[in-house]
Amino acid sequence: MKETDWRTNTTKFIKKTDDLNRLRSVLRKRPRDLLFLEMAIHSGLHAKDLLNLRVADLRGVKPGEKLRLHRIARASNQLVVSSAIHRIFRNYQREESLTDEDYLFRSQKGGLPLTLVSQSRLVSRWFEEAGLSISGGILALRRTWAYHCGAGNRKGAKQQNSKTPIERELGQSISRRDMVYRKLQHEIVSGRLIPGQRIYIENISRGMEVSPIPVREAFAMLEAGGFINSDKKRGYLVNELSESNLREILKIRLLLECAAGEQAAQCPSEQAVGRLEEIQGRYIAARTTNNFEALLKTNKEFHHAIYREADMPILKSHIDRLWDRVSPYYHIMFRQVEKPNPVVGIHYHQRMIDAIRNQNTMEMRRWIKADLSDSTRFVIELFTLHKKLLEHS
């Protein structure tokens, strides 16, 4: 696969109104999330500005009036409150009994605003639930605003170039972002950037001769993938990625995920097989087109659809945390271009579908174990390859 293939096969924002409506439908019973979606795609406000909003900024604002942004220094854009935003806010306020000083988009712990990383992961989960192959998390919402509402948009105009100026600008930015992302990811995996090392946007920007914008976006992707983490006092720090770390994660995953799979196969819901077959179809399509973003999403969606069938929320919560820990390794496996990605996962997934259809717990355990073990072995081979490349660089 050529390096440009996986870039062009990925959707970076929401183009179709039907897809937006599908996302709204998924969030209709979650007024906080639905409010964030509407405000993001209609204002173009930077995520940090949205997350700093408090209830008082929106309370009393009538449809057609501008949002009060006096709490936010040099806010990126203005927002005219629509009737939909007004209605969602009123429902949200009524359900949550919000006070003026509460953050609009607060976390469930301590009442603090959601962080950029947690909100970006949340947005990615929305896309997954709605069946949308959209990458970029929170950045995808701003790009959606840029495509539909941003200044300079030429949607519908006849041009010699089929892409709008907004799309061309986004495409250039995305290419630079992905270049930065892949280079930093390689340096982390190969050990050139060591665990605990601090990295700075300004230094990377100068070293790679790009503007800070694609570097900042690449950092967000690396953090969402678990390669780095942000510290308020120390900046961005490199996380530990190692073969021994991965092997330990595998041992724990085999215990938990095989148990969840066996439980799911004992008494699956009537819809279980159909849901898994639909996800499997999208996984095969993503494999056929080498769409790495869709592969990441559909692989996770497939496994978690099984584990939800177990109806064991405590076990599922532990599995979720382990998937956060293993996320960087899956990014390595699906995004890399050095080795052909294994296609055997398609076979394993189909055998899991057969196991849940036949309520065969032993077969479910067998194929979950094979799938997790083989993907781990493949990533370890990539670690070895990266080390050899580093030795000869």
What average pLDDT score do residues 119-135 get? 86
Q: How far is CA 336 from the centre of its chain?
A: 18
- Domains of the chain plus CATH, in order, are 5-148 (1.10.443.10), 165-238 (1.10.10.10), 243-391 (1.20.120.530)
Mean predicted confidence (pLDDT) in 80-90 = 80
pLDDT digits (tens, 9 = 90+) for 138-184: 888 888 887 776 544 434 333 334 444 444 444 455 578 888 888 88
Q: Which residues contact 62 (CB under 8 A, 6 or more apart)?
A: 81, 86
In this prediction, residue 137 carries a pLDDT of 81
**Percentage of the chain with pLDDT > 90?**
21
Query: What is residue 387's predicted lDDT score, i.e. its pLDDT?
Result: 65
pLDDT at 314 over 90: yes
Concatenate the DSSP letters of all residues of 60-76 into one string. Answer: TPPTTSBPP-TTSTT-S
- For the cut 60, the answer to whether the pLDDT of residue 73 exceeds it is no
At residue 80, what are phi and psi to the nearest 5 degrees? -90, 120
pLDDT band at 369 (very low <50, low <70, confident <90, very high): very high
The mean per-residue pLDDT over the stretch 25-40 comes to: 88
Structure tokens at 360: 């065969």
Q: How far is CA 293 from CA 12, 22, 119, 303, 327, in A?
A: 10, 20, 18, 16, 12
Regarding predicted confidence, which is higher, 335 or 333? 333
Could you tell me the strand order of the sheet in which 235-238 lies? Answer: 198-199, 235-238, 228-231
pLDDT value for 107 = 80
pLDDT of residue 162: 47
> 31: left (phi > 0), else alpha (psi -120 to 50), else beta?
alpha
Which is higher by pLDDT, 104 or 157?
A: 104
How many other CB atoms are there within 10 angstroms of residue 83's CB atom? Answer: 10
Give the total residue count for the chain: 393
Higher pLDDT, 302 or 141: 302
**Summary mean pLDDT of the chain:** 79
Would you list the DSSP string of 259-316? HHHHHHHHS--TTHHHHHHHHHHHHHHHHHHT-HHHHHHHHHHHHHHHHHHT--HHHH
Is 80 exceeded by the pLDDT of residue 228? Answer: yes
Lowest-confidence region among 5-9, 75-79, 111-115, 146-150: 5-9
Q: 75 falls in which pLDDT band (50, 70, 90)?
A: very low
Taking 50 as the threshold, does the pLDDT of residue 246 lie above it?
A: yes
Residue 328 CB neighbour total at 10 angstroms = 24
Task: Give the whole-angstrom CA distance, residue 365 versus residue 386.
Answer: 32
Query: What pLDDT is stored for residue 5 in this prediction?
Result: 36
pTM: predicted TM-score of the whole model, two decimal places: 0.48
In degrees rounded to 5, what are phi and psi of residue 60?
A: 85, -10
Contacting residues for 367 by C-beta, under 8 A, at least 6 apart: 348, 351, 352, 355
| pLDDT above 50: residue 45 | yes
Structure tokens at 324: 């956060």
Q: What's the pLDDT band for 278 if we cut at 50, 70, 90?
A: very high
Of the chain, the end-to-end C-alpha distance in Å amounts to: 23
By mean pLDDT, which of 24-38, 191-205, 337-351 is the weakest?
337-351
Residue 181 has phi, psi (to 5 degrees) of -60, -50
| Span 301-314, average pLDDT | 94
Q: Which of 368, 248, 241 is nearest to 306 (CA)?
A: 368
Question: Which ranges of the chain does DSSP label H, i.e. alpha helix?
Answer: 5-8, 17-26, 31-43, 47-51, 55-58, 83-96, 116-129, 138-148, 165-190, 201-208, 212-225, 243-266, 272-289, 292-309, 313-335, 344-357, 361-391
